[in-house]
Amino acid sequence: MSVRVALRRLVFGGAAFAAGTAVAYIDDPEQLPFDLSNVAQKALQQLDAERAHNVAIWAAVHGLLPIEKRADPPRLRTAVWGKHFSNPIGLAAGFDKDAQALEGLLGLGFGFVEIGSVTPLPQPGNEQPRAFRLPELKAVINRYGFNSQGLDVVRANLIAYRRTQLHRPANQPGPGPGLVGVNLGKNKLSEDAAADYCLGVSKLAPYADYLVINVSSPNTPGLRALQGRKELEKLVRKVKATRDGMSWGAAGPPPLLVKIAPDITEADKSDIAAVALKLGIDGLIVSNTTISRPQAVAEHPEGHQAGGLSGAPLREVSTEVLRDMYRLTKGKLPIIGVGGVSSGADAYDKIRAGASLVELYTGLVYEGPALLRRMKLELNALLQRDGFANVQEAVGADHALPRR
């Protein structure tokens, strides 16, 4: 790297930190003559994708992200699995893989944050570079490969976070404390996937508001084969038995979800739905990244990169898979919709298709923290326009199915 490039990155990185710090201590950023968080976002875009991500995590850990001090619109409040969410918009797994930055990320105003994927043993993931922006398409290709600090480190981080929440003032301004999902993966060289997931449950379930079995990342060899009916049923039985065999209080165990890929056949969808209903899975996450390459992506200079594609090109296909899974499960299972969400309208489309909650990641990469507030206001306006008193009334509205 040349001295000029290094200096430019240092200057832009410093600008990002300064802007983030300023925003964090201003009660109402909308009163400013310019958007400081947007300044920080543009600075981060000068870094390569993974370095920018690491800077964002560092900023979140050190309290340099904006803090949402405004309450969410009451119409956005929702309840899933008997748990209350101040709004239905969450941060997808992959951003905070090791639960390092929960307080800072939830402080942005997310209704929940999903950490992980977490593997039993620490592993470095695939070689760098392994994340590639396609800015013209609002997309990212990644092949991280479950880089994780492992269960013990993540468990310690979750315990530390839960302790901080015990001292959170009841009257603290803002949307309220968000929930934490824990996404579990397997080690690349593990020969017993079920044992890996069961170990993850035994160590992290006590600190999770919900658990996710991730069998859909395209970057771990053989992982997606676990979505097959026979393999999935065997895996879920073992993981569910581990969770149910633990001691739980009156609140009961955390819900258990399965995260699926968008690149599945109609038969795969039917099989997954059948297993979910038969074994009493608590919900689905639809969907992970795609290995397909639409023409616009294939023609992009970075479109040839191996890995999972996320962002705008994934939006329609992931929403259609979500729609199918809602229909196949007869609207009986809560679904978290993820894939290409970057506006309140995108979130609303997924909710009407059958999502009880939605997640984003790539949208945040391109739009920055200011996106979240815009999404909430837009989603609230759309619900109001169509006569829905709350999010739950809109779930599955596009289907001719009874509302839950």
At 166 the pLDDT is: 85
Q: What is the pTM of this model?
A: 0.92
CATH class, domain 70-394, is alpha beta
pLDDT of 387 higher than 90? yes
pLDDT of 177 higher than 90? no
**Are the CB atoms for 338 and 360 separated by under 8 Å?**
yes
- Percentage of the chain beyond pLDDT 90 is 83
pLDDT of 401 higher than 60? no
Q: Which of 33-47, 171-185, 233-247, 263-277 shows the lowest per-residue confidence on average (mean pLDDT)?
A: 33-47
Find the mean pLDDT for residues 57-85: 95
Mean pLDDT of all residues in the chain?
91
Of the candidates 376, 378, 324, 310, the residue with the CA atom closest to the CA atom of residue 355: 324
pLDDT of 404 higher than 60? no
pLDDT of 173 higher than 80? no
Find the mean pLDDT for residues 139-151: 99
pLDDT of 224 higher than 70? yes
Of the candidates 377, 274, 403, 365, the residue with the CA atom closest to the CA atom of residue 47: 365
The per-type count for the chain, helices as H runs and strands as E runs, is 14, 13
Q: Which of 86, 117, 216, 217 is catalytic?
A: 217
pLDDT of 122 higher than 90? yes
pLDDT in tens, 301-351: 999 999 999 999 999 999 999 999 999 999 999 999 999 999 999 999 999
Residue extents of the structural domains in the chain: 70-394
pLDDT in tens, 189-216: 999 999 999 999 999 999 999 999 999 9
Pairing state between β 283-286 and 256-260 = parallel
342 is catalytic: no
Find the mean pLDDT for residues 240-250: 97
Find the mean pLDDT for residues 31-56: 76
Phi/psi of residue 91, each to 5°?
-95, 125
In this prediction, residue 6 has a pLDDT band, given cuts at 50, 70 and 90, of very low
Find the mean pLDDT for residues 387-391: 98
The HSE-up count of residue 394 (CA atoms within 13 Å, CB side) is 29
pLDDT of 361 higher than 50? yes
In this prediction, residue 31 has a pLDDT band, given cuts at 50, 70 and 90, of low
**Are the CB atoms for 173 and 69 separated by under 8 Å?**
yes
